[in-house]
Structure 1
Amino acid sequence: MAGHELDDMNINFKGSFIKSIGDGSSTLFWDETWAGGEKLKLLFPRLYRLEAKKDVLLCDRVNMKSETLMFNWEWLRYPYGRTKGEFDALLSLISNFNFDGTHKDSWKWSFANDGQLTVKKLTGLIEEKAFENNNLNYETMRNNFVPKKLEVFVWHAVQSRIPVRVELDNRGIDLHSVRCPMCDDDLETTSHSLVFCKEAMEVWDKVFAWWGFGNMSNLSLNEICRGNCPSSTTNFGKKVWQAVEWVCSYLIWKNRNNMIFREKKWVSSVGLIEIQIKSFEWISKRSKGRRLDWLTWLNDPSMYLRLV
């Protein structure tokens, strides 16, 4: 993801790194932000004009190995007048700074408690901002019975941001065809890929039969994402059914990609088994205070729709 895209999500990525000063051996004294929240050349412009070596390192101007700070200045002329006032302010700022001459300079990422930037942490931050910026109802797009990646996938699906062929074509990507690679019966839109493709509908039919809901002909992508349940009136039951729908749509998409890129395909019966296993695993781990029984989950999952 490019820097400007992160900025658009209110993530100041470039400004999120903070220099942690150690021995000063890799920090420019004047031209880096290490004290006072701004570069010293901007805080003390008159002094900077008098500096003989403008690209000097911090360690060459301040001796941090002794208990008392020692300064090594090289001025074109000694500061006086207004410049002397800047010099006094600079000395006061540096004298109050906590140096650590026993370690090398390093960078810390301000968005992490430990200061360490990882792909996982950045991905988590992006996901949080994506949900905050979501122009749909925030609560309806969250379900803590499934992993965060499923929440993100569903949000992308609602926003038509998963890379189905029609969306790729709309973004100027030249494809040999925009028809569904699974069935070739229609254009591959998000709704077609996840719901109306005959390969997907075979899986949905089995999931609805598993839950005793009968025909799924009125199913829509919007109903899947919002978790509309045919027969549950409890919040727990609605969340469980929504989680199953999200798992099903996610694994249908995964199967689509495996078929295209790995030439692997699962039949609907195998797909149902994987949906049963994954949904049981994820919901069981996250439904605090409630234990799901595996045999009941396989044979009569609708009983969980009645739990409060």
Structure 2
Amino acid sequence: MSTSFWKDLWLLDETLSCRFSKLYRLETEPNASVGDRVGWNGTFCLGEWCRSRVPRGRAVKEFEDLCGLINSVRLNLKKDDTWQVFIWRAKKRRLAVLTELDKRGIDLNLTRCPVCDDDVETVDHSLLFCKQASDTWSKVFDWWDIDEAESLSIGEIFGESASGSMSKIGAKIWQAVKWTCGYLIWQNRNQKVFAKKCWSTPVALNEIQVTSYEWVSKRCKSKHIDWHNWLHSPQSFVYE
């Protein structure tokens, strides 16, 4: 990729050096290409960003806004790749939550959860224990008539182990629902950070139902997934 990250018009209708001038002044390689500054997974590579010093003040806000813009574009990644990258990063606890950004040298005023403000924002908190995330998981487990929401862990959500008496195909369908829920909780969190708005729990549940249905129905060749049954008795698809 030879397009200049800072000086070419590739993301906005003005150069990034103009829009994010404070951040640009910290850059030690102003001619860096998009490929130099954006990773294969479509995220701004903080670890590879050649900066003269740690961002502070307004530069921190510019950094957060720039990350939000790049994450929304994702360099035309295929949707499957986007999900796979998210799942991998979630399992490794390498999502860009505030505590992780703080560890990497970004000078943040606060590291508390931007959604609930009840605790510091770790990956586990953001995806599982934040009140909005927890309420969303409870709704999903209620939808599937499964009573396990209180024992959730990152390993259980993003691992690939079977659940109880589910069939092999059923376990994969349920896994797809959990991955969808985790992914959309993260997307919702990002909306709160970058757009100052997020879905209510009922709206989040509806998004999960629609997105997971589209995902499963396109990939499950051995079962016909009926929309009405998906909404009202999804467990009928997963047990022998």
Is the aligned partner of 1:275 residue 2:208? yes
Structure-2 separation of matches of 1:233 and 1:252: 25
> Aligned partner of 1:257: which letter?
N
Deviations 1:62-93 (A, max 9, x none): xxxxxxxxxxxxxxxxxxxxxxxxxxxxxxxx
**1:177 and 2:211 aligned:** no
Secondary structure of residue in 2 paired with 1:265: coil
Are 1:255 and 1:266, in contact at CA under 8 Å, matched by a contact in 2? yes
C-alpha distance in 2, partners of 1:228/1:198?
A: 26
1:255 corresponds to which of 179, 188, 193:
188
Q: Does the CA contact (< 8 Å) of 1:231 and 1:305 recur in 2?
A: no
Deviation at 1:214? 2.3
Q: Distance in 1 between matches of 2:222 and 2:170?
A: 14
Deviation at 1:252, TM superposition (A): 0.5
Distance in 2, matches of 1:200 and 1:233, equals 25
Partner residue in 2 for 1:288? 221
SS in 2 for 1:181: coil
Q: What SS is found at the alignment partner of 1:147?
A: helix
Letter in 1 for 2:192: M
2:151 match: secondary structure:
coil
The one-letter code matched in structure 2 to 1:163 is A
Residue equivalent to 1:2: 36
Q: How far, CA to CA, are the matches of 1:252 and 1:301 in structure 2?
A: 20
| Structure-2 change in CA distance of 1:227 and 1:299 (3 Å) | farther
| Structure 1 residues without counterparts, runs of 5 or longer | 7-118, 125-145
- Alignment RMSD: 2.0
Q: Using structure 2 for the length normalisation, give the TM-score.
A: 0.66
Aligned-pair CA distance for 1:215: 4.5
Aligned ranges 1:25-36 → 2 under 5 Å:
none
Q: Which residue of 2 aligns with 1:225?
A: 158
Mapped pair 1:243 → 2:179: no
For the Cα contact (< 8 Å) 2:162–2:168, is it kept in 1?
Answer: no
**Map of 2:52 onto structure 1:** none
- Offset at residue 187 of structure 1 (A): 1.0
Equivalent of 1:159 in 80, 86, 92 = 92
Does 1:199 pair with 2:233? no
Q: Which runs of 5+ in 2 are unaligned?
A: 1-34, 41-74
Q: Distance in 1 between matches of 2:232 and 2:134?
A: 21
Contact 1:147/1:282 (<8 A) preserved: no
Q: How does 1:292-303 map to 2 (within 5 A)?
A: 292-303=225-236
Contact kept, 8 Å, 1:213 with 1:230, in 2: the verdict is no
Q: Secondary structure at the match of 2:118?
A: coil
Q: Which amino acid aligns with 2:85?
A: V
8 Å contact from structure 1 (residues 165, 188) kept in 2: yes
The answer to whether the 8 Å contact 1:227/1:242 transfers is yes
Q: Distance in 2 between matches of 1:303 and 1:246?
A: 19
Matched letter for residue 295 of structure 1:
H
Aligned-partner residue type, residue 252 of structure 1: I
Partner Cα separation in structure 2 for residue 170 and residue 245 of structure 1: 28
